[in-house]
Amino acid sequence: MKTFIPNKQEQMLFALLSASLHEKEVATLPFENCSQEDWRNCFQLACKHGVMALAWDALINLPKNLQPDKAIKLTWAAHVERYEQTYLRYCRCIDSLTRFYAQHHIQTMVMKGLAVSTLYPNPSHREGGDIDIFTYSANTDIMSHEEANALADKLMQEQGIEVDIEYYKHSHFFYQGVPIENHNTFLNV
């Protein structure tokens, strides 16, 4: 079995993520003698893996002498702010969509990314790409769960929204500029 030996930037990122996710103090050893290039590489690695905002939560709690320079921190902070704005936009979007569907006796369950983010210390710091939902009937005396799921897509089309229904697991559309996947089933078993 091949042994994994993390490089300097990976050690830095792991320390930041561990502290952030476990809400504990950052282990300072990986940050001793770090160059600004190490910090730039750590930032790029965090961005590549979608954990930049989580890493930021720990970075700002490092002793000042172990933190990156002002330029790197400003860049990092600006990216974090964009994450937060996107998260709020996604929350407003799903609230609006859920209310719209409820008017038509359709329940909406948020799944995966946006739902999982609520388990993070700071939900707005979990990167997301789309919103995964499962739509089902609020009252099976009126319509079945399958009918409600199909109606959810039809209602989007009636709003002039293009709905891609080609994939067997879910449909795909953009609501208020946010990508939505409406899953046909709650569990694929």
Fold of domain 89-183: Beta Polymerase; domain 2 (3.30.460)
Q: Which two tokens stand for residue 184?
A: 């046909």
- Per-residue pLDDT, 6: 86
Instruction: Give the DSSP letter string of 46-79.
Output: HHHTT-HHHHHHHHTTS-GGGSPPHHHHHHHHHH
pLDDT at 169: 84
pTM: 0.85
pLDDT of residue 185: 76
Identify the pLDDT of residue 189.
Answer: 62
User: Hey, what long-range contacts does 128-132 have (CB within 8 A, 24 or more apart)?
Assistant: 128/86, 128/87, 128/90, 129/179, 130/178, 130/179, 130/180, 130/181, 131/90, 131/93, 131/94, 131/178, 131/179, 131/180, 131/181, 132/170, 132/180, 132/181, 132/183
Domain residue spans of the chain = 8-68, 89-183
| Tens of pLDDT, residue by residue, the chain (189 residues) | 788 888 999 999 999 999 999 999 999 999 999 999 999 999 999 999 999 999 999 999 999 999 999 999 999 999 999 999 999 999 999 999 999 999 999 999 998 888 888 888 899 998 888 999 999 888 888 888 888 899 999 999 999 999 998 887 889 999 999 999 998 877 766
Residue 106's nearest CA partner among 151, 173, 169, 157 is 151
